[in-house]
């Protein structure tokens, strides 16, 4: 029986759980935890009233940290989000303090499952979760650049008028301003994207991917549906033992850093990181992105 504990029932957390409710999954119980107890009680009732129309039966409950004892996955979406004009890295001080408490509470209740982190700055928070929990790195991952990769696939699909599901490309590195697209390994169907999209248009797509969150935050205050769908996709890859490749934030032992990188997910968590045949220029961009994350980590640890 798979239990998911969600910590942080704001826009992102609830978009995740609402997407879970609407998809066929292997999740049997979802326990909700938030500082705002009334919100949790209200969310449990509201979600449960949708069950007669849902594809799978899921029990929603008001959770406590004791629920972590037998949880398969603990998802953390608690903490501050970006205000207009703020970068993800600007959230680091507020959210690192919150994470120390949260991860300590989870572990104090005997958790031995998989952590999935959504809070920004994503790669730093995932690293802190790894450090504070003491779990093996295969059991700690973040949503990484899955959302950015989804944005890339959507934009390329629109440009070429093909289904985004047939676009095979990644955004890698920091889930933030130093992320980038390794175009040399991106394709649509059997065509390499460097063959069918010129460099000016590729740069424009990459800029749009990088600025998407800022644009949405300026327009509606926060982003949450896209990340909700990404978190469900990651959850299903783990619970259904899929061996699916996603650009989640995973641990690079050599660099002692977490960042978005195509990694194989199954019921053990992160089975392994894939090998990428990057160009020299792409390798340099990745090094810069890793340096930006490590610099941020050094300020809080
Ligand atoms: N990974 C991604 O791609 C991605 C995308 C969008 C947003 N985010 C990030 O997700 C995080 C949440 O965003 P949001 O829009 O849902 O924010 P929100 O303000 O709507 O929700 C945050 C929730 O966390 C709760 N909370 C705060 N401290 C807590 C604690 N110690 N214990 C339990 N609950 C606590 C708050 O009560 C609130 O309900 C932000 O850091 C945001 O930047 C990540």
Q: What is the pLDDT of residues 223-279, one digit of tens each?
A: 999 999 999 999 999 999 999 999 999 999 999 999 999 999 999 999 999 999 999
E strands, 176-301, are 187-188, 191-192, 244-246, 249-252, 257-260, 263-266, 269-273
- Tell me the best of 10, 88, 152 to mutate to test the pocket of ligand 1, counting ligand atoms within 8 Å of each CB and taking the most: 10
Residue 30: pLDDT over 90: yes
Residue 17: pLDDT over 90: yes
Give 89's pLDDT tier (boundaries 50, 70, 90). confident
**Ligand 1 pocket by Cβ (under 6 Å):** 7-13, 33-36, 77-82, 91, 95, 98, 101-102, 118-120, 122, 143, 147, 175, 222-224, 227
Q: Quote the pTM value.
A: 0.98
Contact 57, 27 (CB under 8 A): no
Q: Which residue has the least CA distance to atom 1 on ligand 1?
A: 118
Mean pLDDT of the region 10-39? 97
Whole-number Å distance, alpha carbon 289 to ligand 1 midpoint, is: 24
175 is catalytic: yes
Give 2's pLDDT tier (boundaries 50, 70, 90). very high
| DSSP assignment letter at 42 | H
Q: Is the alpha carbon torsion for 159, 165, 166, 168 positive or negative?
A: positive
State what percent of residues in the chain have pLDDT above 90.
95
Mean pLDDT of the region 174-192? 96
Give 176's pLDDT tier (boundaries 50, 70, 90). very high
Q: Which atom of ligand 1 is nearest to the CA of 78?
A: 24
Whole-number Å distance, alpha carbon 78 to ligand 1 midpoint, is: 4
Mean pLDDT of the region 124-151? 98
* Residue 182 pLDDT: 98
Q: Are strands 263-266 and 244-246 parallel, antiparallel or unpaired?
A: antiparallel
Residue 220 CA from chain centroid, whole number: 21
Whole-number Å distance, alpha carbon 13 to ligand 1 midpoint, is: 7
């Amino acid at each position: 029986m798979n239990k998911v504990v969600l910590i942080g029932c704001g826009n992102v957390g609830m978009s995740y759980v609402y997407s879970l409710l609407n998809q066929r999954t292997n999740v049997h119980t979802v326990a909700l935890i938030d500082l705002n107890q009334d919100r949790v009680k209200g969310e449990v009732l509201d979600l449960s009233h949708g069950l007669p129309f849902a594809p799978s039966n899921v029990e929603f409950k008001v959770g406590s940290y004791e629920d972590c004892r037998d949880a398969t996955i603990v998802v953390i979406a608690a903490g501050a989000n970006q205000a207009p004009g703020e970068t993800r890295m600007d959230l680091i001080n507020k959210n690192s303090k919150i994470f120390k408490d949260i991860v300590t509470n989870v572990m104090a209740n005997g958790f031995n499952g998989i952590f999935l982190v959504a809070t920004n700055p994503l790669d730093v928070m995932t690293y802190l979760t790894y450090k504070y929990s003491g779990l093996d790195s295969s059991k700690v991952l973040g949503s990484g650049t899955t959302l950015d990769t989804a944005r890339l696939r959507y934009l390329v699909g629109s440009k070429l008028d093909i289904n985004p599901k047939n676009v095979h490309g990644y955004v890698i590195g920091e889930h933030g301003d130093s992320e980038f697209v390794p175009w040399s390994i991106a394709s649509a169907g059997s065509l390499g994207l460097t063959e069918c999209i010129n460099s000016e248009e590729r740069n424009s797509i990459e800029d749009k991917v990088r600025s998407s969150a800022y644009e949405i935050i300026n327009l509606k205050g926060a982003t949450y549906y896209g990340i909700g769908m990404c978190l469900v996709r990651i959850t299903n890859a783990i619970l259904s033992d899929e061996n699916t490749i996603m650009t989640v934030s995973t641990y690079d032992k050599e660099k002692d850093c977490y960042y978005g990188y195509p990694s194989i997910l199954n019921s053990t968590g992160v089975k392994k990181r894939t090998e990428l045949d990057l160009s020299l220029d792409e390798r340099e961009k990745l090094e810069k992105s890793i340096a930006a994350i490590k610099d941020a980590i050094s300020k809080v640890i």
